[in-house]
Chains A and B, each alone.
Chain A
């Protein structure tokens, strides 16, 4: 019975570890998570590994653009009409 409750608590805390790292938990949730983490080595290790993952992702550098992506009038398939609004778009923009 105790083990089942413990397992459920571990799952609840692990679902919140990402928000915990980002400091997005409310005070009560954060305190509750910290209380559990102090007594649970497995969840503490999960937390540290998750922190490491985020840390490595944060270090991914910006890739320089290979060229300018400025658009040319000839690419638009439309004449420039000053004052016109509400142009339709292809698939990418149609889902906005």
Chain B
């Protein structure tokens, strides 16, 4: 069945049709939340909240890219979680950052030392992402991790193409600067001291 059919049926209250859309987009939404929030448990909550919000709001979906629409709801859900964490006096997302063990798959061909360095680089890159301002972080994740086009990002963030370009440029540049401070973690081809 085509996506539009699931959307139309969802708009009449067909929860099974909506769950077909959930099945199709849950990996994308969960990964966005996981990378923005850096915490599995909160990312799960944000993902569930996003789909619940989407179900309640789908009557107002007026066409265009459903993918961009659901990602926008997911980004808002993540924003709500971050705001809630900031308000909580005893908890901040920084304290909830997890080990990035899920970040890079095991490569049987490499040595334990190389794997350890790659894992450390992964952890550093993940943590660095959460150091970016929220608007830049979102655009970098959508572009460079999730592979969305500038147009799709513009729709998903509700901002102009110019804003997308500017945030992407600044976010990437900030990450680059952070990475260069940890030159010992970089792959050999990127090290200046090789």
Residue count of chain B within 8 Å CB distance of chain A: 60
In the complex, A56 Cα to B77 Cα: how many Å? 27
* Chain B residue nearest to A62 in the complex (CB): B31
* Contact call A85/B59, Cβ cutoff below 8 A: yes
Across the interface, A84 reaches (CB within 8 A) one of B12, B35, B53, B150, namely B12
Instruction: With both chains docked as a complex, state the minimum distance between the C-beta of B171 and any C-beta of chain A, in angstroms.
Output: 9
Q: Is B27 an interface residue (CB 8 A)?
A: yes
Choose from A66, A78, A86 the contact partner of B60 (Cβ within 8 Å): A86
Contact of A61 among B13, B69, B104 (CB under 8 A): B104
A35-78 vs B, CB cutoff 8 Å, 1 = contact: the mask equals: 00000000000100110111011111111111111111101101
Within B20-40, the residues touching A (CB, 8 Å) are: 22-23, 26-27, 29-31, 34-35, 40
Find chain A residues with CB under 8 A from B44 CB: 66-67
Chain B residues closer than 8 Å to A69, beta-carbon distance: 22, 26, 29-30, 47-48, 51
| Residue B91 CB within 8 A of the other chain | no
CA distance A82 to B172 in the complex (A): 47
Using CB atoms, name the residue of chain A closest to B77.
Answer: A92
Whether A92 contacts B80 by the Cβ 8 Å rule is yes
Q: Taking CB as reference atom, which chain B residue is nearest A21?
A: B172
- Please determine whether A63 and B34 come into contact, CB atoms closer than 8 angstroms: yes
Contacts of B140 in A (CB 8 A): 57
Q: Which of A63, A73, A80, A83 contacts B102 (CB 8 A)?
A: A63
Shortest CB distance B189–A (Å): 8
The answer for the CA separation of A76 and B48 in the assembled complex, in Å, is 11
Q: How far is the CA of A3 from the CA of B29 in the complex (A)?
A: 48
Option from A24, A53, A86 in Cβ contact (under 8 Å) with B172: A53
B29, B48, B169: the one contacting A19 at CB < 8 Å is B169
Q: List 21 A-B contacts (CB under 8 A).
A: A16-B169, A24-B150, A49-B179, A50-B173, A54-B144, A56-B125, A57-B125, A60-B104, A61-B103, A63-B31, A68-B26, A69-B51, A70-B19, A70-B23, A71-B18, A86-B59, A87-B59, A92-B53, A92-B80, A93-B53, A93-B54
Binding site for B on A (CB under 8 A): 14-19, 22, 24, 46, 49-50, 52-54, 56-73, 75-76, 78, 80-96
